[in-house]
Homo-oligomer: A and B are copies of this chain.
Amino acid sequence: MLSELSPHLLAALYVVAITAEAMTAALVAGRRGMDWVGVCVIACVTALGGGSMRDVLLGHYPLTWVAHPEYLWITAVAALITALTASIMRHFRTAFLVLDAVGLVVFTVIGCQVALGMDLPMTIVLVSGMVTGCAGGVLRDVLCNRVPLIFRKELYASVSAVTGAIFTGLLALSVNVHLAVLVALGAGFVLRMVALRLNWNMPTFIYRDRP
């Protein structure tokens, strides 16, 4: 049963995830006064950039959106609808945070699976998950000319690291891969929600040249 549930669940959650990332990215692009083409580009980069960077770094071709161009259309359309309905969207802030957390853990687990499928060592499996989960947001922030948020706030990258560590840890303990997917998704999602709720942050390292 698990072996049927986990691939379909991941595939469905992936579409939810790229849609959610595209919508939040559209709002960030709107804050910079971008035109509609810019909004679509930022949305595609945010939603699909993490997986693209992982595939380029691992030499894993073709990239997801090259093999499945429909993902480009999903993100672009989601971004345009968000831009057109931004005055309504502001009332759904909590829903966005929930969907964004889904995206983070889903991307991370998919990234781990890609590296596992290439028989790469565990460190790289973990890094592959983190790159897939976090690099899209980093690219978005670089294109919008701000210091990437995930380096400073919100435990974002840490949740990705923990999700990947749970997933690879369970596999190392010979747990069934489908069960490991579900446990990692659930644990990562709960951790992210708790972190947001309690406003957790990682210790920050502030350095000044003069004491």
Chain B residues near A157 (CB-CB < 8 A): 37-38, 41
- Is A2's beta carbon under 8 Å from chain B? no
Q: What's the Cα separation between A73 and B121 when bound, in Å?
A: 13
Which of B33, B72, B123, B209 is A69 in contact with, Cβ under 8 Å?
B123
Q: Is the interface of A mostly helix, strand, loop or mixed?
A: helix
- A and B contact pairs by CB, cutoff 8 A, 10 listed: A34-B151, A35-B205, A37-B161, A38-B157, A58-B63, A58-B66, A69-B127, A72-B123, A83-B205, A145-B146
Q: What's the Cα separation between A26 and B90 when bound, in Å?
A: 37
- The answer to whether B73 and A37 have CB atoms under 8 Å apart is no
Given the known inter-chain contacts A38-B157, A57-B52, please indicate yes or no for A66 contacting B120, CB distance below 8 A: yes
How many identical chains are in the complex?
3
- The answer to whether B57 and A59 have CB atoms under 8 Å apart is no
Given the known inter-chain contacts A41-B151, A138-B143, please indicate yes or no for A30 contacting B66, CB distance below 8 A: no
- Is A144's beta carbon under 8 Å from chain B? yes
Interface members, chain A 12-38 (any B CB < 8 Å)? 26-27, 29-38
Q: What's the Cα separation between A142 and B173 when bound, in Å?
A: 40
Q: What's the Cα separation between A127 and B138 when bound, in Å?
A: 21
List the 4 closest pairs (A to B, CB-CB), nearest first: A30-B207, A38-B151, A69-B123, A35-B202
